Amino acid sequence: MGMDTGTDWQRWQQSWDRQQEWYMPDREDRFRIMLDMVEALVGTAPRVLDLACGTGTVTARLLARFPDATSTGVDLDPALLTIAEGTFAGDDRVRLVTADLKDPHWTAKLPYDSYDAVLTATALHWLHSEPLADLYGRIAGLVRDGGVFMNADHMIDDTTPRINAAERALRHAHMDRAKETGAVDWAQWWQLAAADPVLAGPTARRFEIYGEHADGDMPSAAWHARVLREKGFAEARPVWCSPSDTLLLALK
């Protein structure tokens, strides 16, 4: 994979983790439950597709817990993929693929036609509902019968506006306090990446692709479950939630 640059890839992984945890203090909880459900439904040596893999956060936790697992990471972000490539260089359990999930032919780039589990976290809220529903149809075609798809993301129930507002106010108050003690946010993290000699080029390309941040939709967990069933999954429901986020599991 990537050449050896002498870069401390674990340090970049950890700095990405801390930045993401500023937004989601319970981030590790969702990964733990996600992997519990992988084990429960498809065992301890699964073939996994890490969808919108970023730096390979899910893949790293998957392989630490299940050394016999394999993972295909798919993303379009050249900077985060550079970190993933550096992290997993020489590990033949991991394949990394550059593809745009909005491209209807992205699945043709994958090394396999089917997967035991397709996993994704805090990524698909970049998509609006219609392209997300289309993507769910393609994912249903990749998951084997008896296999699973899991999406951990911000899912908003519009029927509870007062609860949502109170939860959001408290969460943002905590974030503001953490910021005062030195927490690094999304924009600051990307400034650090842009200043790194190895990541500067990929970071510039990343902003050409995405801009600052895409604004997709964040439909409710009920919407996700309904659409996944419409697209070919037999069962779908939340298996974990926090006050703001849901881990939704769909079984083929």
Residue type, 234: A
Beta bridge partners of 47: 70
Q: How far is CA 100 from CA 74, 78, 82, in A?
A: 8, 11, 16
Q: How confident is the model at residue 216 (pLDDT cuts 50, 70, 90)?
A: confident
Q: Residue 138: helix, strand or coil by DSSP?
A: helix
CB 219 within 8 A of CB 127: no
Predicted confidence (pLDDT) at residue 195 exceeds the cutoff of 90? yes
Give residue 3's pLDDT: 52
Predicted confidence (pLDDT) at residue 185 exceeds the cutoff of 60? yes
CB 54 within 8 A of CB 27: no
Residue from 25, 235, 54 nearest 150 by CA: 235
Residue from 126, 155, 153, 133 nearest 220 by CA: 155
- The percent of residues above 90 in pLDDT, for the chain, comes to 94
Average pLDDT over residues 181-186: 95
pTM of the complete model: 0.96
pLDDT in tens, 54-84: 999 999 999 999 999 999 999 999 999 999 9
**Who's near 70: CB < 8 A, 6+ residues apart?**
46, 47, 48, 93, 94, 95
Residue 211 to residue 205: CA distance in whole angstroms? 10
9-251: what fold?
A: Rossmann fold (3.40.50)
Tokens for 10?
A: 């674990």
